[in-house]
Amino acid sequence: MQRIAVINQKGGVGKTTTTVNLGAALAHRGLRVLLLDMDPQANLTVHVDKRPDLEGSTLTSLLLDDQKLDALVQETGLPNLFVVPSDTSLAGVEQVLANRIGRETILREALETFAGRTSFDFVLFDCPPSLGVLSANALVAADWVVIPMQAEYLSLQGMAKLLEVIQLVQKRLNPQLKIACVLPCMVDARTNLSTEVLREIDTHFGSLLTRTRIRNNVKLAEAPSFGRTIFEHAPDSNGARDYAAFADEFLAMIGVRAPAAVGNDEVPSPTDDSPEVEPLAGEPPAAPARDDEPPPREIAAEA
């Protein structure tokens, strides 16, 4: 099970949209995906058609009351896609845990004893727009970080702080944490501003910057109000195309071969461990070397 934190302490940059639609794209490829809503605003919970005010058990029960993760997992309308919902009670967690020893490792421990860990291929954490205890739990529990970034003026502001926190977590609590990529979201290719900002992001992040750009797309903005992912809401939209392309690029970046399309019997040779696309080389400005990456592995689609 690969654990992915989708994080950026700025709000409105595309974290929730990316978590839901990356998760849905992976689920459509036959991979089993669990989404964890770690934001008290519960946007992800609503996006997958749940009602935060009606949820009895949310991530709060896990973080504060030692409730087992297995008891919190719910189905969504999409096969292979599951969710642990959030609600506003999560807002109180930071304060309650403030003086509790080991507060940053609660989620990691919960995942270690999670019975579903053998049946899920991915768990995605949708982080809140802050760098508090909730985000720390996500970073400590994660293998990979995905940083969505809005292609607009000042989008790099705050990035030094985020990279510093990631480095600190790597040093103290989770040495295997790696940055997978920086994903430009809400890109308007027609404006010089977007182009300029992308060039600036490229100078800072180099090979960590994805080739995929998530364009501005009204269907992506509409989908949450229907409680549907972009693939159900508007499968022919640019939003669906961009997130499908991102999912493929992401799998290649982390060295996971995309499973054969559902219904296709062709299984890649187990000895052929080369990823579909060359993994990106080079080092991020404030991230660990990437040459300690585990060899590419394959994830079998659920039968």
Ligand X SMILES: Nc1ncnc2c1ncn2[C@@H]1O[C@H](COP(=O)(O)OP(=O)(O)O)[C@@H](O)[C@H]1O
114/243 with CB nearer ligand X: 243
Q: Binding of ligand X at residue 158 (CB under 6 A)?
A: no
Q: How far apart are CA 234 and CA 222, in angstroms?
A: 10
Which stretch in 5-13, 62-70, 92-100, 157-165 sits in contact with ligand X by CB under 6 A?
Answer: 5-13
Q: Binding of Mg ion at residue 16 (CB under 5 A)?
A: yes
Q: x-or-dash pattern for ligand X, window 22-51, by CB under 6 A?
A: ---------------------x--------
42/151 with CB nearer Mg ion: 42
Residue 248's alpha-carbon distances to 171, 210, 231, 266, 290, in angstroms, are: 30, 11, 15, 18, 19
The residue from 217, 251, 275, 290 that contacts ligand X (CB under 6 A) is: 217
Q: How far apart are CA 65 and CA 93, in angstroms?
A: 11
89/216 with CB nearer ligand X: 216
The residue from 17, 61, 86, 194 that contacts ligand X (CB under 6 A) is: 17
129/235 with CB nearer Mg ion: 129
- Nearest-CA neighbor of 8 among 223, 184, 153, 143? 184
Task: Report how many residues bind Mg ion under the rule CB under 5 A.
Answer: 3
Residues that bind Mg ion (CB under 5 A): 15-16, 43
